[in-house]
Structure 1
Amino acid sequence: MSTENEGNAVPPAPSAPPVPVASPAASPQGSAPDAGTPTAQLPPVPPGTPGAPEQVTAPAAHAAAGPGQPHAAGPGLDAQQQPTAVPAPTPTSYGGPGPEGSWPPPPPATPSYGDGAGGAGAGGWGSSYQQPAPKPRSGRGGLVAAVLVAALVAGGLGGGLGYTLAKDNDTSGSTTVSASDSSASQVKRAPGTIANVAARALPSTVTIEAESTSGEGGTGTGFVFDKQGHIVTNNHVVADAVDGGKLTATFPDGKKYDAEIVGHAQGYDVAVIKLKNAPSDLQPLALGNSDRVAVGDETIAIGAPFGLSNTVTTGIISAKNRPVASSDGSASSKASYMSALQTDASINPGNSGGPLLDASGAVIGINSAIQSSSSGGLGSGQSGSIGLGFAIPINQAKYVAQQLIKTGKPVYAKIGASVSLEDSTGGAKITDQGTGGSAAVESGGPADKAGLKPGDVITKLDDHVIDSGPTLIGEIWTHKPGDKVTVTYKRGGDEHTVDLTLGSRVGDS
């Protein structure tokens, strides 16, 4: 489905938690002020960030689409380190052009440690160290020293005598047993254990550093997609390097390669980069089937939270098909939408673009956004993970990556209608007018052919309940152009059902 409303502020989050809600324009790092916990894209970790963990909740601010602001459903609808619109919490992306809003939230402000990086702050990780004031010397200093020396000598003598007596009179018969070889290299980890999965997957993950021509940028994660040197990551991870910037990818063994962007999809928040002079022994990670994932399945996330490369965390699948919208909060940013896999595996800024694995080690998603607590927000406070992370399902990401490798441009499914981004319509309402004064229902498009009209409220897409425009867009984008879907909508209080074939839109603009 196409979002012809792209370019609009990120819509308010749908009622379903943690559906992204449009948040008032704030600083790129600002968190949504509305009630509820904002979700934002996991922002890339700014270069030079101290090893101390930065905020994992991507501080990406979400541009909120004002009520009534239309947004195309799906890329054709009128309506990229380290994931959503805000009135209600918007997912922070650890990551494209969604409906017509953009997905990747802006990189979070450099995490502050205490009173700023390295500054003194109460209890802050980066609080400056103050050398204790020297204790006043007293006339008894020499005496104290002599007494201490005497005590140490006596203590040493007593200790020596005690050891000798104990050695000569040891009748306890107590013995200890040492393993023949307890070195980590000799321990066998059975297939399926977290240690085994991590050992096999880590060599195929990279820490990505993106830098713009002005020197700004951040750190994210990616994983080997094929033997030709293609690496898949989030669009918001590499966004700074899109226009002539610099990209590097570093493997866990320390080998570092320059890279170039092959293609990026802002709406999907997916990007593909390629290593220059790629090694011949690359081992692509196996891709799983995200459609078969079940709530409760174990998950393993790999990334570089706050710049801490090669970090492994675990959890479970907390929910599926979670509507999530996110944006980097910049003026030129468009919203990204996804029907996400929700996980409680710890994800933080810098995890963006990293793989979410199942218990067998297969990739089932790309870590992209996190829910932010209202107290910490996504801005300068950069609170950490609260157990609400979101990943782009790998089935969708695989399709997008293949299109980017093939043509360099993303292809979006669309219904050809502009929908409201409000979260109080009880569905996705087709607006009276499209963006820029265009028709709300594209003439000759899928929606038009199916008989849909302005004012109709779409409540279901196949068997999935639609509670808002962003939810509809995310669901449409899980499909491919040409797919047939069943749309349930209300008109004048009556419910209707119609089948339609999704159209297509090429590119983010």
Structure 2
Amino acid sequence: MEAPPYRLAGLSCCLALVFVSGCTVGGSAPRSEPSTTQAAVPVAANDLQNDYQRVIRDVLPSVVQIQGRQDLGSGVVYDDKGHIVTNAHVVGEQRTFQVTTVNSEDPLRARLVYSYPEQDLAVVQLDRPPKGLRPAAFGDSKKVEVGQIVLAMGSPLGLSSSVTQGIVSATGRTVTEPSEGGGPGATIANMVQTSADINPGNSGGALVNLDGQVIGIPTLGATDPGIGAGAAPGIGFAIPASTVKLIADQIVKDGRVTDSGRAALGITGRTVVDDEYQAAGVAVVEVRGGGAAAQAGIEPGDVITRLGDTEITTLTSLAEALAALRPGDRTKVTFTRNGDEQTVDVTLGEQ
């Protein structure tokens, strides 16, 4: 069972670093220093190090720190007009921000263009983009492969312009974030799983390949159920570049999301339990007029138990099943009404 993820919400903290210097302990007896020879560094290691340093030089200037009234996160410069893409949970309910670039310690004022919590993405824009602002290059999500070396760039724990390294651990993950209230939040499909360290403050930053392309926006890490809310090291998730570009392009052009590509039933629901207090389905609380569920005859009070071939036990499982589909897809929905099981064909709408 995969560990449930936690969202890397904005950071507000004080950080103390303790440095311990080296020391020598012992008597006064003289001793001779051993002779040493430096081992030759393999050419391949030098090449890899050079690749790391080249990518950092090329991409890090495109990664910024975003500071709200209380929370702190990261962002990626999207174009030369000062648009910056980040996570929706980084901007929260705020509309103005202070943005610090790599090349300047003086914060720049930015305003929210649009936030799309359903995909946990948002775009802010600098009021006065500085000269030399460098947009990042975004890669092709279809070319991301397990085992690729990646670097995560951002401001973990408030340490701006930090870089960690790892690999792509998996692709195509569907992950549901928690909401501020503790329930299920955004369900995001096709996420990139990485072993690069992702900590609070990394949210909205850049996951970069060795070609200097952003392949994802780091968004959340996993928790280890065995240690409560503690982080599970080496398990982080990033929104794929293709999704970032789909959403950000619309926000930059239209000021909002006009085509999400996210399938929807058009209901408000809640998880219900059976007589043994086990999650047993999603009760329909409200049906949106003209939506997919309404057109299929689904009514408030129905309990959805299956979508296509997928068993539905919770709101999270329903959201994850829908994340694998597209608006306009036809599927079957199985539900119970007054104790009787029914199945209807549904043409999915758009969220």
What is the DSSP-based 3-state SS (H/G/I as helix, E as strand, rest coil) of the residue aligned with 2:177?
strand
Give the aligned partner of residue 245 of structure 2.
398
**Rounded Cα–Cα distance in structure 1 between residues aligned with 2:214 and 2:324:** 17
1:470 equivalent in alignment to 2:328 = no
Give the aligned partner of residue 196 of structure 1.
54
Higher relative contact order (CA 8 A, sep 6+): 1
**Rounded Cα–Cα distance in structure 2 between residues aligned with 1:194 and 1:466:** 44
What is the DSSP-based 3-state SS (H/G/I as helix, E as strand, rest coil) of the residue aligned with 1:386?
strand
Alignment of 1:104-503 (within 5 A): 193-211=51-69, 217-239=70-92, 241-242=94-95, 247-256=97-106, 257-319=108-170, 320-329=172-181, 335-339=185-189, 340-374=191-225, 377-378=228-229, 383=230, 386-410=233-257, 413=262, 414-421=264-271, 425=279, 429-434=281-286, 441-452=287-298, 454-460=302-308, 468-474=314-320, 476=322, 483-491=327-335, 498=345, 500-503=347-350
Task: Tell me which amino acid in the other structure corresponds to 1:286.
Answer: A
1:41 equivalent in alignment to 2:7 = yes
Number of residue pairs matched? 325
Give the aligned partner of residue 168 of structure 1.
none
Q: Is the 8 A contact 2:304 2:312 kept in 1?
A: no
**Rounded Cα–Cα distance in structure 2 between residues aligned with 1:478 and 1:405:** 26
Q: Is the 8 A contact 1:343 1:388 kept in 2?
A: yes
Task: Return 5+ residue gaps in structure 2 as ranges.
Answer: 20-26
Aligned-residue CA RMSD in angstroms?
4.0
Q: Is the 8 A contact 1:298 1:316 kept in 2?
A: yes
* Residues 487 and 329 of structure 1: CA distance in aligned 2, closer, same or farther (over 3 Å): same
Q: Is the 8 A contact 2:86 2:217 kept in 1?
A: yes
* Residues 209 and 51 of structure 1: CA distance in aligned 2, closer, same or farther (over 3 Å): farther
Q: Is the 8 A contact 1:369 1:391 kept in 2?
A: yes
Q: TM-score, normalised by structure 2?
A: 0.75
What is the DSSP-based 3-state SS (H/G/I as helix, E as strand, rest coil) of the residue aligned with 1:321?
strand
Offset at 1:351? Answer: 0.5
What is the DSSP-based 3-state SS (H/G/I as helix, E as strand, rest coil) of the residue aligned with 1:193?
helix
What is the DSSP-based 3-state SS (H/G/I as helix, E as strand, rest coil) of the residue aligned with 2:64?
strand
* Residues 467 and 361 of structure 1: CA distance in aligned 2, closer, same or farther (over 3 Å): farther
**Rounded Cα–Cα distance in structure 1 between residues aligned with 2:53 and 2:177:** 33
**Rounded Cα–Cα distance in structure 2 between residues aligned with 1:360 and 1:250:** 25
Task: Tell me which amino acid in the other structure corresponds to 1:372.
Answer: T
Task: Return 5+ residue gaps in structure 1 as ranges.
Answer: 1-15, 20-38, 53-124, 127-147, 164-173, 212-216, 435-440, 505-509
Q: Is the 8 A contact 2:333 2:346 kept in 1?
A: no
* Residues 343 and 254 of structure 1: CA distance in aligned 2, closer, same or farther (over 3 Å): same
Task: Tell me which amino acid in the other structure corresponds to 2:77.
Answer: V
**Rounded Cα–Cα distance in structure 2 between residues aligned with 1:442 and 1:345:** 41
Q: Is the 8 A contact 2:166 2:197 kept in 1?
A: yes
* Residues 371 and 44 of structure 1: CA distance in aligned 2, closer, same or farther (over 3 Å): same
Give the aligned partner of residue 144 of structure 1.
none
1:50 equivalent in alignment to 2:35 = no
**Rounded Cα–Cα distance in structure 1 between residues aligned with 2:320 and 2:215:** 17
Offset at 1:352? Answer: 0.8
* Alignment deviations for residues 241-266 of structure 1 (CA, whole Å, 9 cap, x no partner): 33xxx522222223542211111123
**Rounded Cα–Cα distance in structure 2 between residues aligned with 1:297 and 1:450:** 44
Offset at 1:458? Answer: 3.1
